[in-house]
Structure 1
């Protein structure tokens, strides 16, 4: 028995850029907005709450405007980044693997081979149920926690994908 370890020409490998990735549901952006509005409300509430802890009233009034402008600026920038990052969330289910792409500043593409998947879980928060969405969690061997989590899938589509992956993992192609 001879050992061989041939080099693979990277030019011949399939290109991830050529993969037709599917965007997650636009309804998921509503959940992102609601979560951010809650955060923004807390931040703005903290700015106005500061005036009760500072004794010199005239200093508070002067600085309150600056603090509020800073918080509102943060909120606007955060919202824009979230919107642009949302557009980068895409996935693909292929014959031998699952691919998930996300991230604006730090872009990542995660590929999980079907042969490594141990089980698949579908979960729904109360807000996701309201919008008819679900999260698909894919677990692989040797790790604690889910290795891939695709949030914002339409509920029926998440169930179908879960069924497809479960059948492949269990050998029921």
Structure 2
């Protein structure tokens, strides 16, 4: 006959976390919403940029710029090619920006410190987007920039900053070796 297995006592192993998970403050929720708003402003600015790039006014400006640069006529539609490149650039950069915004928002929501730092760096770099703005997309670029900066500020002041510290400590305390 086999003996019944007896439960063993192991004080080192516990299914309970050693510290409680921190509660996400409203401030971080607002930061996430502001980052999502920045993504929406990016989409609106991209649509307006696409409309502007396809306009007769843009074609005329591009034609005069190319004429000023004394670019020889090679038999190709340089203006058409330039417009196509500009449209592709707007679409690709905008799609990547929206994807980055969503990823950062998701990880800020989870309390990932790297997302907060990445958002701060991207907010600083995005200040360069203020150069060469054209209306009406400029309004949405400024709104996008302000939303991103406000979100970053909310993540770096208390209680947001404390939430990121608490999340880091929670992850470290519950890390399985």
Normalising by structure 1, what TM-score?
A: 0.38
Who wins on radius of gyration, i.e. which is larger? Answer: 2
Q: Which has the higher contact order (CA 8 A, sep 6+)?
A: 2
Higher strand share: 1
